A and B are shown apart, each in its own frame.
Chain A
Amino acid sequence: MIQLTIIELFKIIKRPRTYIGFLAIFLTVGAMQLAMYFEGEELIALAIQNLENDFRLEGKIINTNLMTYILLNSLIIHIPILICLVTGDSLAGEASSGTLRLILQRPYSRTQIYLSKALSGYIYTTSLIIFLALMTYVLGYFLFGTGDLIVLRRGVTVISSNDVVWRFLLAFCSGTLSMFVVASLSMMISSFVNNAIGPIVGTIAIIIGLNIIFTLGAPLFKDIIPYIFTSHFVKWQYFFDFNIELDKIKLSVFVQLAYVFIFNIIGIIHFNRKDILS
């Protein structure tokens, strides 16, 4: 399995589309940080104008912690697209290019091949999130410096700069788990089709569709919303509450792990039964 995973990582590293994700993060984060650098004061003043009636705010409000917090929200749509480019291509891309039948003629089981592709997909996903974290935090540090984090969520929470790093670490871990769900979903769809466009479009369509349900919060879907995986894409924000609700975090982790497991099981079962006709 380790050997197979290394081979899959080698293929990912050698594929040009792998670097689209890193380039997109570099450009997006860079552009947002620069925009905030030049026009951030006005935007923030607009956002906190109500607060200034009740509080006296001092110090650097725009700092690397706030920038990282804002950019973590890209986990909802932007980062999933970048992940799908690679994980959605892993099986379907090989099917369409004919290399799938080449690797299936070697003495590894289809389950092993599927799992090695999933593992390498998770490693790619993790590297993308680490890159996002480094880009936002390091670039933000040089542009804005550090400072206390003001979070506007269910009221106002001010988190000291000394108390924020561990929260970000856990938030990025939570975000990574959410992105593992995306990678698993696109891998599963990838096992059903023979072209790479299907898993990318399919995964994004599902995420957007479920996000709409989540955002509308219609009473009809009220009971299922906690179990829709996209509703957990923002659960990293729990780590920035004054009193962290561990039960909710545990439930979120459990639901997302369940999705990772289910998507992989469906993908493996289908891939094992699939006739390779490409």
Chain B
Amino acid sequence: MLSDKLLEIRHLEKSFGSFKAVNDISLHVNKGDIYGFLGPNGAGKSTTLRMVLGLIKPNKGEILISNKSIEGNDRKFLNNIGALIEKPDFYKNLSALDNLKILFKMSKLKKKNRISEVLNEVNLWDKRNQKVGGYSQGMKQRLGIAQTLLHQPSLIILDEPSNGLDPQGQAAMRNLILRINIDMGITIIISSHILSEIEKIANRMVVINKGQKILEGNVKELMAKELLKVNFKTDSVENLSNLLSNKKIDFEIRNNNIIALINEENIPLVIEDIVKNNISIQEVRQMRTLEELFLGLTQ
């Protein structure tokens, strides 16, 4: 993973009337990242992403793409960014091919077979002449991805790309995103409320709430920093609960299960003590999920 910054946001602020949608957010996305953008509804995710695209003007702060500020009227920075914001909207009365032709010309592109390349990439070449109004949600999402790839950008912003997709569609979307990142080397920012999705594909992430950044960093490190929920399935509930009490570990008992809150680093030590004390354990399962971390941070 390269370490140079592709996108940097410095002290970004945006208010709508008296409502502060984004409040002093700073973050950076490195080249090659799949960067998760997390936050509950109304947290300021879409507003921040729209400011990166120049759709919304910030009140304060600076946005840099490849170390160049996007301020001013020069729109060339958009050659480096492909984006799918919220839902994939197209000219419904036009075919997928006509829609992409419009965007192709608006991107000042020259490579003639680029449209067929991206339509093949998202498996829509056979449906290219069908009007977008007749497309399913999944097809629209894939066409949305195709238009982000059209001008071969170095950064793709995907705002809730799995919205409205069934589990198969979500898995296909996840694979497509990974393929774009790994095979094409494109950096991706993905905002999603499907937290397991971020957990599966993102290497770095930010959590924002009420317009403010709560944390930013490596997904695995962030997960490890916090206490993990560990579920022990045992016949010796009493012995295990005594051991955990002695070690001043919080836990709760549910039938034959003990759910304990343990720092990730201490888990091997606890298991070692369980073995030493001959406490029989049928199953040990880590329960900590990104969703729990997210809820803990944003509630």
**Interchain CB contact (< 8 A) of A105 among B56, B76, B78, B108:** B78
Binds A, one of B97-105, B222-230, B245-253, B278-286: B97-105
Q: A102-B103, A104-B54, A277-B56 are in contact. Are A14 and B89 (CB under 8 A)?
A: no
Q: How far is the CA of A4 from the CA of B57 in the complex (A)?
A: 24
Judge whether B263 is part of the interface by a CB distance below 8 angstroms.
Answer: no
Nearest-neighbor residue (CB-CB) of A104 within chain B: B55
Determine if A273 is an interface residue (Cβ-Cβ < 8 Å). yes
B79, A275: Cβ atoms closer than 8 Å: no
- Determine the residue in chain A with the shortest Cβ distance to B108: A107
Q: Which residue of A is nearest B147, CB measured? A: A102
Asked whether any CB of chain A lies closer than 8 Å to the CB of B85, the reply is yes
Contact with A along B82-103 (1 / 0, CB 8 A): 1101110111111000100011
Any A CB within 8 A of the CB of B173: no
Contact with A along B101-136 (1 / 0, CB 8 A): 011011110000000000000000000000000000
Nearest residue (CB) in A for B92 is A97
Is the pair A273, B75 in contact by a Cβ cutoff of 8 Å?
Answer: no
Find B102's partner among A11, A97, A104 (CB 8 Å cutoff): A11
B81 at the interface (CB under 8 A from A): yes
Chain A residue numbers with a CB within 8 Å of B78 are 105-107
CB neighbours (8 Å) of B102 from chain A are 7, 10-11, 103
B79 touches A107 (CB 8 A): yes
Q: In the docked arrangement, what's the CA distance between A92 and B147, Å?
A: 22
In the assembled complex, the CB of B149 is this many whole angstroms from the nearest CB of chain A, namely 13
B73 within 8 Å of A (CB atoms): yes
CA distance A99 to B100 in the complex (A): 12
Per-position binary interface string of chain B over residues 1-38, scored 1 when its CB falls under 8 Å from any chain A CB and 0 otherwise: 00000000000000010000000000000000000000
Query: Which of A15, A101, A106 touches B103 (beta carbons < 8 Å)?
Result: A106
Residues of B within 8 A of A273 (CB): 57
- List chain A residues, Cβ under 8 A from B174: none
**B198 to chain A: closest CB distance in Å?**
23
Q: How far is the CA of A97 from the CA of B88 in the complex (A)?
A: 10
> Does the CB pair A276–B50 fall under 8 Å?
yes
Chain A 85-103 per-residue mask, 1 if CB under 8 angstroms from chain B, else 0 = 0000000000001110111
From A7, A109, A275, A277, B106 is in contact (CB under 8 Å) with A7
Complex: how many Å from CA A142 to CA B105? 45
Q: Is B205 an interface residue (CB 8 A)?
A: no
B190 within 8 A of A: no
A16 at the interface (CB under 8 A from B): yes
| Residues of A close to B147: CB separation below 8 A | 102
Q: Which residues of B contact A50 (CB under 8 A)?
A: none
In the complex, chain B residues 35-62 whose Cβ is within 8 Å of any chain A Cβ: 50, 53-57
A99 near B75 with CB under 8 A, answer no
B145 to chain A, nearest CB (A): 13
CB distance from A8 to the nearest CB of B (A): 10
Nearest-neighbour CB distance to chain B for A51, whole angstroms, equals: 53
Is the CB of A53 closer than 8 A to any CB of chain B?
no
For A277, list chain B residues within 8 Å (CB).
Answer: 50, 56
Of chain A, the residue at the smallest CB distance from B78 is A107
B56 with A275: CB separation less than 8 A: yes
Contacts A11-B91, A97-B92 known; A276 to B75 CB distance under 8 Å? no
The answer to whether A108 has its CB under 8 Å from any CB of chain B is yes
Q: B54's closest neighbor in chain A, by CB?
A: A104
Asked whether B93 lies within 8 Å of A276 as measured between CB atoms, the reply is: no
- Complex Cα gap A74–B243 (Å): 93
A16's partner among B56, B93, B107 (CB-CB below 8 A) is B93
Which residues of chain B are within 8 angstroms of A275 by Cβ–Cβ distance?
Answer: 16, 50, 55-57
Q: CA separation between A11 and B103, bound complex, in Å?
A: 12
Q: A237 CA to B163 CA in the complex, in Å?
A: 59
Which B residues are in CB contact (< 8 Å) with A99? 89-91
Check if A162 is an interface residue, CB within 8 A of chain B. no
CA–CA, A99 and B93, complex, Å: 12
Residues of A within 8 A of B107 (CB): 106-107
Whether B85 lies near A101 (C-beta < 8 A) is yes
Q: Does A49 contact B (CB under 8 A)?
A: no
- Distance between Cα atoms of A197 and B53 in the complex (Å): 28
Cross-chain contact B91 with A4 (CB below 8 angstroms): no
Task: Kindly list 9 other residue pairs between chains A and B, CB separation below 8 angstroms, not including A6-B105, A14-B94.
Answer: A7-B102, A15-B93, A16-B93, A102-B89, A103-B102, A103-B103, A106-B103, A275-B50, A276-B56
**CB-based closest 7 A-B pairs:** A98-B89, A106-B106, A276-B55, A275-B56, A107-B75, A107-B78, A107-B79
- Contact residues of A with B, CB < 8 Å? 3-4, 6-7, 10-11, 14-16, 97-99, 101-109, 111, 273, 275-277
